[in-house]
Structure 1
Amino acid sequence: MKQDNPLHCPLGVSVRQVIQRINDNKMGIVLMVDQDGRLLGTITDGDVRRFLLNQGSLDGPAGPLIWQHPVTAPAGASRGELTRLLTEHKLRNIPLLDDDGRPTGLFTLADALESEGERPCAVILAGGQGKRLRPLTEDIPKPMLPVGDAPLLENIVRNLVACGFSDIYLSVNYKAQVIEDHFGDGQAFRAHIRYLREETELDTAGPLSLLPPQSAPLLVTNGDIYTATGLDRLYEFHLAHRCVMTVAATQYRVKVPYGVLNLAGHLLLGMDEKPEQRFYCNGGIYVINPEILRLIPAGEAFSMSQLLERVLGAGLPVAVFPIHESWVDVGQRADLERACEEALGKGGEQ
């Protein structure tokens, strides 16, 4: 697949090739064009992830994912008109076309937010003790363990900043001073960092009760997750689906080493030889609407599992964002070693 413009993609490519082009252009979208460069349609990062949730194959053709009627605008449209179109149609991107229908650029949600001076903020949950990693965590908190040439937590902060999240809260408890000494106010990392100081351990949702009032959805991540996932894409996925929460999910495979019998009572219907089952599991990264924060009790240990139970129990919609990129939960030494390999560029897609 050869295209000079990283936003453009020809027909006949695979889903995997579309993902590669989206990763290369870092815009969360590709513009499908014909041989003359005219726009045929679009495929977004969200389109790909919904396809994967429906058990689609990365090596299958990308053609069925193309949206053939995207909202577009003339190349000379004003910023105000483009922002209005984004808001009216609840879009993240608008292709800009010349008089012949060829894309000349892309107006994005980030462009609109920049013009309005708005930026989403993120919370990193970094207060855990990392007991399973002792003695490595006897003197430093788990998020400060080295991964590559920087602490794990610094990798997370830099990824957030690269994805447009420069306003960051760090929730701290165990060995908090180590974290605060390293990051300070965040200026050295091109971020504005503030601290949520847990007097006692508040689990994975409890620290959010320490936040000041919020007016926009929050991105929340555990402080022990190393991933190549574009967190801006997770945030855009959440906004596009208009749910109150979005949970990032990683796929876990279980290979049964025996032939599995399919039964109807005492009768055998068939046998699956050494089948593989796939499950989507909680990836420890979320986007949460501000109105959901009132469901979290103040000053108490409260987990994300408990919060999800309350949200679902209230009949509120929760979306799932599948992670196809590399993802490591650094809980044990083997996980830490794998994260270090990912940082050295030896990892890839799941």
Structure 2
Amino acid sequence: MKAMILAAGKGERMRPLTLHTPKPLVPVADMPLIEYHLRALAAAGFKDVVINHAWLGQQIEDHLGDGSRWGLSISYSPEGEPLETGGGIFKALPLLGDEPFVLVNGDIWTEYDFARLPKNLNGLAHLVLVDNPDHHGKGDFCLDQSQVRDGNADVDTLTYSGIAVLAPQLFADCQAGAFKLAPLLRQAMAAGQVSGEHFSGHWVDVGTLERLAEVEQLLAERR
């Protein structure tokens, strides 16, 4: 099973750190953020990882290389101009193959064990959901037993963690260009094609300097 790490964002809310450093390489407790994912994927038995990039992307390739130091084989999908989540995945599909693959947002930090993810899908996607953080109190979706549905004001919601298993068929009707992933997921949810799970362990959306400090505090407490 292959994995893809989304690493094409500019990280504008983390300036000035990201003015000259791509967000995936911003150090968290002296280690680049993306390296936590690479180590976790390797520990879970993954071998092949695809990374897309745009802003300062050559720095990512130069730093990570072919992935052999983690026992991984890394392929890159350079975008030039960012294609958003959906468009970036669509462009990388030739590198990901015809089987379901793991998707990980490059700007999260988590203790989630990627070995828990299903290798096969009964539908088009499987999402890992987490408790709503303070900065995203409304959440995204609701979990009805093992089925994920679009959230509304009348039900308790959870937040999409940025970790998923996707079937390439989710993108069957898409065309090259910039587009978001969420509308495709909502369409699949309406057809009952999205399963999910609730992860209650440590997870942080490292989108701001404050949340970067939160992760560093968590790591300091573990030492």
TM-score of Structure 1 vs Structure 2, range by shorter chain = 0.7 to 0.9
Please list every run of at least 4 consecutive aligned residues from structure 1 whose deviation after the TM superposition is greater than 6 angstroms.
none
- Pick aligned residue for 1:305 from 182, 185, 188: 182
Give the TM-score taking structure 1 as reference length: 0.54
What's the counterpart of residue 245 of structure 1?
Answer: 125
Amino acid at match of 1:215: D
- Pick aligned residue for 1:222 from 105, 118, 142: 105
CA distance in 1, matches of 2:185, 2:101: 15
Amino acid at match of 1:332: T
CA shift at 1:139, angstroms? 0.5
- Pick aligned residue for 1:195 from 56, 76, 85: 76
Amino acid at match of 2:99: A
Amino acid at match of 1:125: L
1:304-343 equivalence runs, <5 A: 304-313=181-190, 315-343=191-219
**1:161-193: CA deviation from partner (whole Å, max 9, x where unpaired):** 111112000011000011000111111221000
Q: Which has the higher contact order (CA 8 A, sep 6+)?
A: 2
SS of the residue corresponding to residue 139 of structure 1 reads: coil
| Structure with max Cα Rg | 1
Amino acid at match of 1:183: L
SS of the residue corresponding to residue 37 of structure 2 reads: helix
Aligned length: 201
| Cα 1:278/1:147, change in 2 over 3 Å | farther
**Identical-residue share of aligned pairs (%):** 33
CA distance in 2, matches of 1:310, 1:200: 26
Amino acid at match of 2:88: P
SS of the residue corresponding to residue 10 of structure 2 reads: coil
Amino acid at match of 2:114: L
SS of the residue corresponding to residue 83 of structure 2 reads: coil
RMSD: 2.0
| Cα 1:328/1:287, change in 2 over 3 Å | same
Amino acid at match of 1:305: A
What's the counterpart of residue 166 of structure 1?
Answer: 47
CA shift at 1:316, angstroms? 4.4
**1:29-68: CA deviation from partner (whole Å, max 9, x where unpaired):** xxxxxxxxxxxxxxxxxxxxxxxxxxxxxxxxxxxxxxxx
What's the counterpart of residue 148 of structure 2?
Answer: none
What's the counterpart of residue 159 of structure 2?
Answer: 281
**Gaps spanning 5+ residues in structure 2: where?**
135-154
Q: Is the 8 A contact 1:245 1:286 kept in 2?
A: yes
SS of the residue corresponding to residue 177 of structure 1 reads: helix
CA distance in 1, matches of 2:124, 2:116: 16
Q: Is the 8 A contact 1:143 1:153 kept in 2?
A: yes
CA shift at 1:206, angstroms? 1.1
CA distance in 2, matches of 1:345, 1:205: 36
SS of the residue corresponding to residue 344 of structure 1 reads: helix
Give the TM-score taking structure 2 as reference length: 0.83
SS of the residue corresponding to residue 165 of structure 2 reads: strand
